[in-house]
Amino acid sequence: MLSGGDMLIRALHDEGVDLIFGYPGGTALHIYDAIFRQDKVEHILVRHEQGATHAADGYARATGRPGVVLVTSGPGATNTITGIATAYMDSIPMVVISGQVTRDAIGSDAFQETDMVGVSRPVVKHSFLVQSAADIPNIIKKAFYIATTGRPGPVVIDFPKDVTDPAEKFPYEYPETVKLRSYSPPQKGHTGQIKKAVEILMSAKKPIIYAGGGVVQGEGSEELTKLTQTLGFPITNTLMGLGIYPATDKQFLGMLGMHGTYEANMAMHEADVILAVGARFDDRVTNSDVSKFCPNATILHIDIDPASISKTVTAHVPIVGPVKSVLKEMNSQIKASSNKVDAEALKLWWENIEHWRQRDCLAVESAGELIKPQQAIQALYEVTKGDAYVTSDVGQHQMFAAQYYHFDKPRRWINSGGLGTMGFGLPAAMGVQLAFPEATVACVTGEGSIQMCIQELATCKQCQLPIKIVNLNNEALGMVKQWQDMQYSGRHSHSTYADSLPDFVKLAEAYGHVGIRIEKLSELKEKLAEAFAMKDKLVFIDIVVDQNEHVYPMAVKGGAMSEMFLSKTERT
Amino acid sequence: MRRIISMLMENEPGALSRVVGLFSQRNYNINSLTVAPTDDVTLSRLTVTTIGDDRKIEQIIKHLNKLVDVVKLVDLTDGSHLERELMLIKVKVSGAQRAEVMRLADVFRGEIVDVTPTTYVVQLTGTSDKLDAFIAALGDTSILEVARTGVSGISRADKVLNL
Ligand SMILES: Cc1ncc(C[n+]2csc(CCOP(=O)(O)OP(=O)(O)O)c2C)c(N)n1
Ligand SMILES: [Mg+2]
């Protein structure tokens, strides 16, 4: 016999959860007491509930296992919303447990009462309000099942305080299986559709593979790499997909979309066949006017979520199913097929692509001792030998990291792509570092973003997390400023704050960490290397970078994929 | 185009708000909505009428199907079907109007279910178009109150929505 609070923790353990992120408060106190009285599930005390959600999210993105969050009702619960929405937009498996006022007080505007199920509804895959302690094992089982299967996503479980009352005990048994008559994620793609897609691929003259975050979540990287290499096709990845195909391989054209490479966007625009895998034709890829998108292409679209198919761009061959099994079947069909790819056409196509590549759209012009933000990422790549886990915040620094750090493995690049949440980077890095204590974890951030969850430096201290914070300090909300430069004649409305920035070195020190500042290009690599050599310390690396740099290429608003600004003075 | 989408939904708290929330969150239209229990106590049947082009309707159906509470769904307008709506309408009637409204109710196969010296309540069932037509036919008769249930529907012949 167990109390509701004990059942919850026990069920988490039975579900394989060994780490949760949280912050206590009134309605969660029975649960916190249950945590105190056991040693199987470790709890990480964050400094803000938003941090807990991003940390759990980072943990999930790096490991593929669901992240778990525990918070109190009211403000504790509402503070998780940004983090839940972030996970929702990027399809990250997460379970958020919130305290709630007692059942009889629900609806009475009780102290710290918020309708969490209601408030979170638009940003969760599903949610539960626990009505009786006896339901706890079943609900936990269902919640994890829903969060981790199909198109993954966050699930909220709201726990009225009296349901976790230590005085009321119930028999506990954790269910082995779960059955939901109304929820059955697809297990396999349609063989006939796959066959149709393979035929089209085999006769393609200007094909391209466009793959995204679904391949990370669906663990399809290996099959995707095999497919790409067997076919000899060019491949581009979305911001969310970086790492699912080795970036250092010659078939990789780089990221596509708003800040994608010239060659990737040109190849998309000119393609006659696009194989979209676990990508959702987001407006940051297609640009806002879908009618101009890839006019010549036959579109083959693999996704586990039928609602992602033909949502914005019509798919000629839709394939609903888990990317891994669909790609596997594609690979075996190709192997068995007597058809060969059109080698002649493909050769011409690659010549075309090489021609675009020669434009070298990511070339960096040196500016003496002034550090270009791109150079900082290049140095980071060299110092970490391309093998770090890189989390990022949102802004120019994020795009530079995506462009200049070449990810060869999935789950190494961890950023908020869908929601674009500033403040994500540091807590996400905590989740990664806790999952992989020995790994090198870098958080690429900006002086704007880092201040949105800066309080987590204290969590890092308490847990001794040796994260390396790489702060590309341009003394501005750089991405906002860039848009103001390009679209508002340089009127920098509320995007600069140079005279009120904190001394990040002292700030890091105040939290008990090491802080260093890098101001000259000649000392960039050496100082970075020194920082990364401090294996057991968190180092805040404040890098003073060129304040006037823009991210290029940049899609021309409302244009086709082939329409890009390539620098402040050139456009296609 | 106008569509009638009918679904079986888990009889769970919050299920209805998820369906309704989906419509407002994605800026889909709801013209009418009815929900009531079925012969199976664990299921409710919800019927919604909405308007949109084919792409939008396809998205609505896909998103509804994704909701964990929605067990099974059919677009009734895809095939041959029956649709019915019930209306109670209270009108102010005096003098010659009394006979006139009674005659009109008769033509529409309605029933006068409540009578006072100055008012009638007319009950009418049929397609939404028919109810609209009745309201239009009342002309300058003063309407005091309209209560419509929203559309309920069912497929014809052996096509069924059940588990
Ligand atoms: C929470 C949140 N608020 C606002 C924005 C809008 N926004 C996008 S990028 C950006 C500037 C980020 O500044 P910084 O972190 O210094 O990065 P930089 O662009 O300078 O590299 C802002 C305000 C956002 N993405 N997230
Ligand atoms: Mg900045």
ipTM over 0.85: yes
pLDDT above 90 for A289: no
For residue B13, what pLDDT is reported? 86
pLDDT confidence band for A288 (50 / 70 / 90): confident
d(CA A440, CA A388): 5
Q: Is the backbone of residue B107 left (phi > 0), alpha (psi -120 to 50) or beta? A: alpha
What's the pLDDT tens digit per position in A512-549? Answer: 999 999 999 999 999 999 999 999 999 999 999 999 99
Q: How many residues does chain A have?
A: 572
Total CB pairs under 8 A between chain A and B: 37
DSSP line for A450-490: GGGSTTHHHHHHHHT---EEEEEE-SB-HHHHHHHHHHSTT
A259 CB burial (10 A radius; 0-12, 13-18, 19+):
buried
B contacts of A307 (beta carbons < 8 Å) = 59, 62-63, 66
What's the pLDDT tens digit per position in B51-102? Answer: 999 999 999 999 999 999 999 999 999 999 999 999 999 999 999 999 999 9
For an interface test with A, the pick among B46, B66, B161 (most A C-beta atoms closer than 10 Å) comes out as B66
- What separation in angstroms does the CA of B19 have from each of A54, A161, A339, A446, B53? 28, 28, 47, 40, 20
Q: Is the CB of A393 inside a 6 Å radius of any atom of ligand 1?
A: yes
Catalytic residue positions of A?
49, 111-112, 161, 479
Task: Check if the beta carbon of residue B124 is closer than 8 Å to that of residue B131.
Answer: yes
- What separation in angstroms does the CA of A243 have from each of A359, A377, A444? 24, 16, 17
Chain A residue nearest residue B11, CA to CA? A182
For an interface test with A, the pick among B27, B68, B73 (most A C-beta atoms closer than 10 Å) comes out as B68
- What separation in angstroms does the CA of A37 have from each of A31, A95, A140, A162? 10, 22, 20, 19
Whether A307 and B13 lie within 8 Å, measured CB to CB: no
**Cα-to-chain-centroid distance, residue A196:** 32
Can you name the residues that pair with B47 across neighbouring β-strands?
Answer: B6, B34
Among A357, A356, A421, A407, CA closest to A377: A407
A contacts of B10 (beta carbons < 8 Å) = 182
Using DSSP's 3-state secondary structure scheme, residue B162 falls into coil
Whether B68 and A129 lie within 8 Å, measured CB to CB: no
pLDDT above 80 for A213: yes
Query: Region B24-44: what's the mean pLDDT?
Result: 95
A16 CA: distance to closest CA in chain B (Å): 24
Using DSSP's 3-state secondary structure scheme, residue B29 falls into coil
pLDDT confidence band for A443 (50 / 70 / 90): very high
> Residue A138: what are its φ and ψ, rounded to 5°?
-65, -40
Q: Is the CB of A479 inside a 6 Å radius of any atom of ligand 1?
A: yes
Nearest to B10 among A117, A127, A182 (CB): A182
pLDDT confidence band for A287 (50 / 70 / 90): confident
Q: Is the CB of A98 inside a 6 Å radius of any atom of ligand 1?
A: no
pLDDT above 80 for A312: yes
What's the pLDDT tens digit per position in A23-50? Answer: 999 999 999 999 999 999 999 999 999 9
d(CA A211, CA A324): 12
d(CA A26, CA A30): 9
Instruction: Calculate the average pLDDT of chain A.
Output: 97
